[in-house]
Amino acid sequence: MSDRPQVCAVIAEETVDAARAAMKRAGGIADLIELRLDFLRDFDFSNPNSLRVLLEDKPLPVIITCRAISEGGAQQIDEQIRIRLLVEGAKRFADYCDIEAASYPEAARLSPDASRLIVSYHNFDETPDDLNAVYARVTSLPAAIHKIVTQARTITDSLAIFNLLQRARDEAKPLIAMSMGQGGVITRVLGPSRGSFLTYGSIARGKESAAGQMTCGELINEYRIRRLSRATSITGIIGSPVSHSASPAMHNRAFAELDLDFVYLPLEVEDIEQFITRMVRPATREMVWKLQGFSVTIPHKTSFLSLLDDLDQTARDVGAINTVVIRDGKLIGYNTDAQAFLEPLAGIHALAGAKCAVLGAGGAARAVIHGLLQSGAKVSLFVRNVDKSGELAQSFGIDASPIESLSSSDAAVIINTTPAGMRGHSEGTSPVPRAALRGRQVAYDLVYNPPETRFLLDARAEGCQAIGGLEMLVAQAALQFALWTGRAAPLDAMRDEAKRFLES
């Protein structure tokens, strides 16, 4: 058995030819292959010899799997035929077969040799409370490796998986354990460094066989899974949703660039209190991991300030955080958005005394207004709902006006902090008509996806200097990176990675 974290490429193709081609590709990426036979439409399940053609050129060790419908299988196959195919196939053509615990008696009847057997348990609904009893039951069946896969309804369900991995380690039993779903992504990335025999990856985007599965390429190149260990420092992004965030790509690239033993994970968190108590706060957490801190995104930027031990002055003034650092057992909140917002702007326009109009009154607007006021700018707010924004305007001592009245303002700098124009939201639109940008000097859009928004195109057409949101995105991440690692961030690498991610 290898000590190196093993990445298993899952091949779930509909034809024998496509499966053979996919296995060939997997040969250059992964450490082993799981071949999902139940996906095949042109395969003779009743004749184990048909595996000869399929596996004759296998580039890596192969686990054959043919799931029953009740365990997530893709088609109905007679139970005896299915088990015979797997048991004989593993003996003659493959390296292992994966058989559900419920089908174990039939497999044992056909062959008492368990040396090529993976006995598995799946729960597609939940992570049951009695997982230890499940483990005891499953591992009592003779097998080379046991496997337990559950559905994570929340990220804290992952704790039960990490506990099982520790137990299996203590008992020297080879175990594959993980959780499906967004909350379980952490088990897929960290599982091998905690003793899981392997982790599964798809061969390409769109070819996933389970929710939360990453590609083998992402696991190996982005998350650098082969070098992760219990000593690896961990960071990540908490929020909901986080699966489309550019931050893992940017930060992991930066860690690789400086060869730091760090990894950055997408942490899908809904119940923030439970997460902080059970997984984060050093005094109460139930998991052994070197968590250094994390980025914070919607909906938690303002919701859990009271759960932190301290706030830095900017976070206090802004009233929102985007970063947590764990230092000396304490959770400290930071806001890197305010400084990051200023960095691209300060270089092209003097802000002391400059008249600036801020569009929108959400979380990002708070950081922007704070940064502008700190720089001596004169700030006015333009919003679609003046009543709703009254408190924010009052807290900063500025005026709020309807966004339709922007044309009559003499602001030289216009900053869009609304999501108008964002991909998947209202791409192609602008929060203001083009004429409202006429005669301005600078137009700054916080939206970074797409990089070219209608607001920026209109601004350029009106002769303004235009700044897109990408530079701020990179700058806020770079400041976080420095807080966690104490090192200056490799800005060019982070920018390249953010662009690559947004184009992909």
Question: Of 2-10, 109-117, 272-280, 419-427, which part binds ligand NAP (CB under 6 A)?
Answer: 419-427
Q: Count the residues of the shown chain that bind ligand NAP, applying the rule CB under 6 A.
A: 24
Tokens of 65: 């799997």
Contact 336, 318 (CB under 8 A): no
Q: Which of 272, 266, 279, 274 is nearest to 182 (CA)?
A: 266
Give the one residue of 205, 388, 460, 500 binding ligand NAP; rule: CB under 6 A.
388
Non-local CB neighbours of 391 within 8 Å, separated by 6+ positions: none
Q: Which is nearer to ligand NAP, 187 or 247 (CB)?
A: 247
Question: Of 115-123, 187-195, 278-286, 441-449, which part binds ligand NAP (CB under 6 A)?
Answer: 441-449
**In whole angstroms, how close is the CB of 335 to ligand NAP at the nearest point?**
10
Helix and strand element counts for the chain (H, E): 17, 21
Give the one residue of 419, 462, 493, 502 binding ligand NAP; rule: CB under 6 A.
419
* Stretch (H or E) spanning 84: helix 79-92
Give the one residue of 201, 293, 469, 490 binding ligand NAP; rule: CB under 6 A.
469
**In whole angstroms, how close is the CB of 251 to ligand NAP at the nearest point?**
14
**In whole angstroms, how close is the CB of 449 to ligand NAP at the nearest point?**
7
The tokens 């030819």 sit on which residue?
17
Q: How many degrees, rounded to 5, is the angle at CA 239 between CA 500 and CA 129? A: 120
Cα→Cα distances 200→75, 155, 183, Å: 21, 19, 16
Contact 193, 5 (CB under 8 A): yes
> Directed axis angle between helix 470-485 and helix 337-346, to 10°?
130
Give the x-and-dash track for 358-377 against ligand NAP (CB under 6 A).
--xxxxxx------------
Q: Which is nearer to ligand NAP, 193 or 247 (CB)?
A: 247
Give the one residue of 250, 403, 415, 498 binding ligand NAP; rule: CB under 6 A.
403
Question: Of 188-196, 237-245, 251-259, 443-451, which part binds ligand NAP (CB under 6 A)?
Answer: 443-451
**In whole angstroms, how close is the CB of 102 to ligand NAP at the nearest point?**
47
Give the one residue of 201, 431, 458, 494 binding ligand NAP; rule: CB under 6 A.
431
439-472 burial, b at 16+ Cβ within 10 Å, e below that, comes to: ebebbbbbbbbbeebbbbebbeebebebbbbbbb
Tokens of 367: 């950081």
Contact 227, 252 (CB under 8 A): no
By beta-carbon distance, which residue lies closest to ligand NAP?
362
Tokens of 469: 């949101």
Residue 264 bridge partners (DSSP): 235
Q: Does 34 bind ligand NAP (CB under 6 A)?
A: no
CA gyration radius, the chain: 27
Q: Decide the pairing of beta strands 399-402 and 378-383.
A: parallel
Active site residues: 122, 147, 301, 337
Q: How many degrees, rounded to 5, is the angle at CA 153 between CA 148 and CA 154? A: 105
Specify the amino acid at residue 315. Answer: A
**In whole angstroms, how close is the CB of 373 to ligand NAP at the nearest point?**
17
Question: Of 118-126, 149-157, 240-248, 415-423, which part binds ligand NAP (CB under 6 A)?
Answer: 415-423
Give the one residue of 294, 448, 481, 484 binding ligand NAP; rule: CB under 6 A.
448
Q: How many degrees, rounded to 5, is the angle at CA 492 between CA 487 and CA 497? A: 100
151: helix, strand or coil: strand
**In whole angstroms, how close is the CB of 384 to ligand NAP at the nearest point?**
4
Contact 200, 8 (CB under 8 A): yes
Q: Which is nearer to ligand NAP, 46 or 385 (CB)?
A: 385
Give the one residue of 8, 472, 479, 489 binding ligand NAP; rule: CB under 6 A.
472
Non-local CB neighbours of 309 within 8 Å, separated by 6+ positions: 330, 331, 332
User: How many CB atoms are closer than 10 A to CB 422?
Assistant: 18
**In whole angstroms, how close is the CB of 200 to ligand NAP at the nearest point?**
32
Question: Of 111-119, 183-191, 457-465, 471-479, which part binds ligand NAP (CB under 6 A)?
Answer: 471-479
Interacting residues with ligand NAP between 298 and 357 (CB under 6 A): 337
Give the one residue of 50, 202, 417, 453 binding ligand NAP; rule: CB under 6 A.
417
**In whole angstroms, how close is the CB of 318 to ligand NAP at the nearest point?**
11
Give the one residue of 180, 228, 372, 473 binding ligand NAP; rule: CB under 6 A.
473
Estimate to the nearest angstrom the gap between the alpha carbon of 286 and the chain centroid: 22
**In whole angstroms, how close is the CB of 232 to ligand NAP at the nearest point?**
27
Q: Which is nearer to ligand NAP, 118 or 373 (CB)?
A: 373
Question: What is the contact surface with ligand NAP in residues (CB under 6 A)?
Answer: 337, 360-365, 384-385, 388, 403, 417-420, 422, 431, 446-448, 469, 472-473, 476
